[in-house]
Copies of this chain bind each other. A is one copy, B any other.
Amino acid sequence: MVTEQMGAARTPGRPRSEKAEKAIIDAAIDMLAEGSGVAELSIEAIAARAGVGKTTIYRRWSSKEDLVVDALATLKAPIPELDAATVRENVVRYLAAMQQESHNRRTRCIMNIALSESERFPHLARRFREIAVRPRREALREVIQRGVDSGELRPDVDVEVAMAALSGAMLFFTKWRDNDDELPADLADRIADQILAGLRP
């Protein structure tokens, strides 16, 4: 679902235009999933695939890149609730959600394409980071900072490095593994336990 925060300015949604919006987003995602790079995508082709006119697209998005950003953002799983009592439990929830997301082959494929385009389409990469990456990181940062504030973690914890170690360890397994083995079911727990061991008083 596309929420208000995600896109460029657009007119208030009515049922009919919401349906068109979904068709447009779906068309863009399908084409990316089929291996189309951002450069090869055109508003014309997306419109044809979605069964709408080009002006319907331009009414909602000022550029192809903004449309792709919204399309990619719909693929991200929602941030899990991080309201458990302990840092460990919140970190495990966060990491488990990352692992879950990585199981979707289609999502992985599309994200790979988006990543590969970041040098060619810096605006796209920047917007995607703003609306899809940064809110997740802030959520994790808060979890760690709350742990520092409550004394569950050491006061001198390097919060940036702690975030990078937790997320990076999971990404290392989900994106950078050097084999095609199944990921262990307790991966989130193992990462949380080992890294948090270095952050406790």
Contacts and interface: CB of A to CB of B under 8 A. Distances in A.
B133 A176 contact: yes
User: Most chain-B Cβ atoms within 10 A of its Cβ — which of A105, A109, A117, A165?
Assistant: A165
- Classify chain A's interface size: 35 or more
A83 to B, nearest CB: 24
A165 B137 CA distance: 17
Contact of A169 (B137, B165, B178): B165
Given A115-B115, A118-B112, A198-B194, A173 B164 contact: yes
Given A164-B169, A168-B169, A178-B134, A158 B194 contact: yes
Copies of this chain, complex-wide, total: 2
Given A161-B190, A178-B129, A35 B120 contact: yes
A45 B133 CA distance: 38
A164 B172 contact: yes
A162 B173 CA distance: 12
A173 B162 CA distance: 12
A34 B34 CA distance: 22
Interface string A187-201: 000110111111100
A138 to B, nearest CB: 9
Contacts of A197: 198-199
Contact of A39 (B35, B130, B169): B35
Most chain B beta-carbon neighbours within 10 Å: one of A120, A164, A171: A164
Contact of A168 (B37, B120, B137, B168): B168
Nearest to A168: B168
Interface in A103-156: 105, 108-109, 112-113, 115-120, 129-130, 133-134, 137
A170 interface: yes
A176 B117 CA distance: 13
9 closest residue pairs by CB, A with B: A198-B198, A168-B168, A116-B116, A168-B172, A197-B198, A164-B172, A164-B169, A165-B169, A168-B169
